[in-house]
Structure 1
Amino acid sequence: MSEPALVALREASFSYEDGPPVLSGLDFEVRRGRTLALLGRNGSGKTTLMRLLSGGLRPDTGELTLRGRPVAYDRKGLTRLRTTVQLVVQDPDDQLFAASVAQDVSFGPLNLGLPDAEVRARVDEALTALDIGHLADRPTHLLSYGQRKRTAIAGAVAMRPEVLVLDEPTAGLDPDGRERLLTTLGGLCEGGTTVVMATHDVDLALLWADDAALLTPDGVSTGPAAAMLARTDLLHRAGLRLPWGVVVERLLRARGLLAAGDDGPRTPEELAALARTVPPPPGPARTADTPRD
């Protein structure tokens, strides 16, 4: 018998007051140890889905389960959920409020009623994981945008969740900040945290995720990222384009430049490395004296 999903929505529907349904009859699950990219057009319900997973919203119909058991929306049930699932919103300024980085990161563990020594240990652990230990005493209003993003994630990590749900975590970051954050998330995954990332970036999803979930007006479709992000029908319904890596891989295969069974390049750097291994096309070598047409 397979292990139940860490957290799952079953036949879940939700609508905001006096509004149309945002999600209807949705089945969605998060499996341990699988990085998951959640994609869809603006207004498709990604943020609503994430808030349902973390207990910030309650389904109108259907249920949220934790390790196969329905979540109770009382203090005990929500505490159990929020020590397992943590949501980090897109704008860190919506999440940070304490005077300093360490104070902000300590908020969640303190609310659990943990001893001071345990709180300090968790704060140190989270700051180290996000590579911001040197910012512990820095006022939050003096942080750069990338530092605020890391601090918000550290606050969630300090709760030691099994599932970390991130809403557009790379939005607004420069390329270096993005790469550093992805490296950090890789370390968290290796440490046993299951990460769910909502993003519009299909190239990032193909590069980073094990699985991809595409939200369309017909519902959600989930599967291995490489297969899902090559589905032009689903991508069209989700308001997304084909990833760069999928287009390049198809071109290379059509030209016979990629061996059967080999993965295609996912980044320009990987394409450049592949190009260095491909022999030049047959034909007379051109020299500086060769006349041009």
Structure 2
Amino acid sequence: MTPPLPVVELVRAGFAYEDGPPVFDGIDFAVPEGRAMALLGRNGSGKTTLMRLLSGGLRCARGALRVAGEEVTYDRKGLTRLRTTVQLVLQDPDDQLFAASVGQDVSFGPLNLGLPEDEVRLRVREALEALDIAALEDRPTHLLSYGQRKRAAIAGAVAMRPRVLILDEPTAGLDPHGQERLLEVLGRLRDAGTTVVMATHDVDLALRWADDAAVLSPAGLRTGPVEELLADDALLDAARLRRPWGMAVARLLREQGLLTDNTPGPRTAEELDTWSTRRTPRPTG
């Protein structure tokens, strides 16, 4: 059986900023549909450039960007097709929010597509409900909390109904409760069929959340199952990433004979607590 085409991919892509060295030189990167991918790498490794190339904010100097196997053209028609397939949400929501109210901001993209008014209203309502901020539709954007602004920015992207949602450090600046609420939202989007790519420095988050990882290091880009890549100490050293907490705990449990090689280990402190409670017999008498 022929494998499905990636939703979006860079093929032998090269890019350099003006008067600078190449950031990428012949890179291949494919985003498969229906998977959650963590994009990892140190500062300056090219994560932001890669995300902007995938979303059309930057244009390959050579090579190609393809959507469902078809090369993207950077005219109006081609960019419209790309932006209804791939949406990028920036790390700082204030770089994206500009309208007076949440509803106006979320409606901006669909309105630019020339959609009928009823369709725009439907998309806005669906996006706000998906991000659990329907009650904020008429709220001025400058009165939102930081977490609310994050979700409003994501809602604006979701209203375009993209097949791929790319998020730049979406949990940065959020407290633990805010992070968990956002991850629940992203989980619902995944369940509804949206492919999510998340750039993050948090290897623990990547391990617990992602199916696949893409790791940028001076040696280039490596992709694969998240557990496989985050268990590669040489790769993590090259990328200047620390070892995930869950990997270290699982390694220790296996060394102590408490976990078999084929059994996944706990990925969070809460999972470890649940695991240890199940293993420890309750005192009697």
Could you tell me the TM-score, scaled by structure 2's length? 0.97
Distance (Å, rounded) in 1 between the aligned partners of 2:96 and 2:186? 19
Quick check: 1:97 aligned with 2:104?
A: no
> Cα distance, 1:185 vs. partner?
0.3
Aligned to 2:266: 265
Distance (Å, rounded) in 2 between the aligned partners of 1:279 and 1:132? 42
Aligned to 2:123: 122
CA RMSD of aligned residues (A): 0.9
Distance (Å, rounded) in 2 between the aligned partners of 1:221 and 1:47? 16
Distance (Å, rounded) in 2 between the aligned partners of 1:46 and 1:71? 21
Distance (Å, rounded) in 2 between the aligned partners of 1:238 and 1:29? 20
CA displacement, residues 147-189 of structure 1 (integer Å, 9 cap, x when unaligned): 0000000000000000000000000000011000000000000
Aligned to 2:232: 231
Aligned to 2:63: 62
CA displacement, residues 7-41 of structure 1 (integer Å, 9 cap, x when unaligned): 00011111111111111211101000010000000
Aligned to 2:277: 276
5+ residue gaps in structure 2?
none
Q: How does 1:1-293 map to 2 (within 5 A)?
A: 1-279=2-280
Greater Cα radius of gyration, structure 1 or 2: 1
> Cα distance, 1:260 vs. partner?
3.7
> Cα distance, 1:279 vs. partner?
4.7
Sequence identity percentage: 69
| AA matched with 2:165 | L
| AA matched with 1:186 | G
Cα pair 1:203 1:244 within 8 Å, conserved? yes
Distance (Å, rounded) in 1 between the aligned partners of 2:189 and 2:116? 24
Distance (Å, rounded) in 2 between the aligned partners of 1:130 and 1:279? 39
> Cα distance, 1:274 vs. partner?
1.7
Distance (Å, rounded) in 2 between the aligned partners of 1:97 and 1:17? 29
Could you tell me the TM-score, scaled by structure 1's length? 0.94
5+ residue gaps in structure 1?
281-293
Cα pair 1:24 1:219 within 8 Å, conserved? no
> Cα distance, 1:219 vs. partner?
1.2
| AA matched with 1:37 | A
Distance (Å, rounded) in 2 between the aligned partners of 1:253 and 1:124? 48
> Cα distance, 1:278 vs. partner?
3.3
Cα pair 1:6 1:30 within 8 Å, conserved? yes
Count of residue correspondences = 280
